[in-house]
Structure 1
């Protein structure tokens, strides 16, 4: 069950400091952050909680203080496709839904208990936040190019080895079903791949 921490100002302050640092590195001034900080909401979320339903309009981004979130698509046949995983001190939201204001093609949910700070996405449209918007879009463009290369230029084994070498947190934290879904193979194939390496 989602729980907003309204009665824990000391903890909220500590958690907000990590968000303030993150936003500062994106180019948002402390004055600009201070003007909207009252709109930030600390949330305790249980594993399996849904933050954004597939098909709904997205209103918030989530800064991860602790825990792991994922964006996934549920197909009509019951298939689950993992778009992305988000870890500590990352900002989780769907860029395409944000830019187009279209209903989300993916669902955002927690895969373990998490502490989050909810941020209204409309903040990124304010003039004082334009440097952050540009920085986030630049990061996302680079990331999308790298992800396309990850899938188009590598075999499943090379994809797994890339994660082992460059994303050890993923390999050590995610289970075989989650990893296999991201790599684009089934869990049995991933288990065989692991045993071969």
Structure 2
């Protein structure tokens, strides 16, 4: 995967608010969050949205916040995502991926060949991983991984990116959203592997 040259800025630093006029995800619940709920959540410091540009066009957005998750579980998922930390502590520090979307114009198109796809989603997730690795390795802030409440249509995609369901209920019961997690070790591995791949290309 070739890393895209995004310019990523805070949502409230966008100089031209009309840039948002052409941004749609194609998923009503995500669009509702962006244009009806986001401002209120940011004002109360519940989340913080970043906006990714290529040139003058917004191609994607993601929102992050701090979270904790109770880890005294018998689930094998917890063991694989968080290792020994799952057994030793009542809770672990996580980053919550509160929103993740790609402009519909740049989303995967099954009618196109692989070399014609934009891969904005993978590249934007890489940017999120980079943020987390920088937090941990540069700023020395402990983080055990990331959690996302994935909409039903996105769970397969998150699984392909090495996220796991929080527990068997999340994996097997039909629902509008599912809680999924990824441990820091997997985030760091994906980050460095992508860096090495791009260094060779």
Q: When the two structures are superposed, what TM-score results if normalisation uses the length of structure 2? A: 0.25
Structure with a larger share of its residues in helix: 1
Q: When the two structures are superposed, what TM-score results if normalisation uses the length of structure 1? A: 0.26
Structure with a larger share of its residues in strand: 2
Report 1 or 2 for greater relative contact order, CA contacts < 8 Å, sequence distance ≥ 6: 1
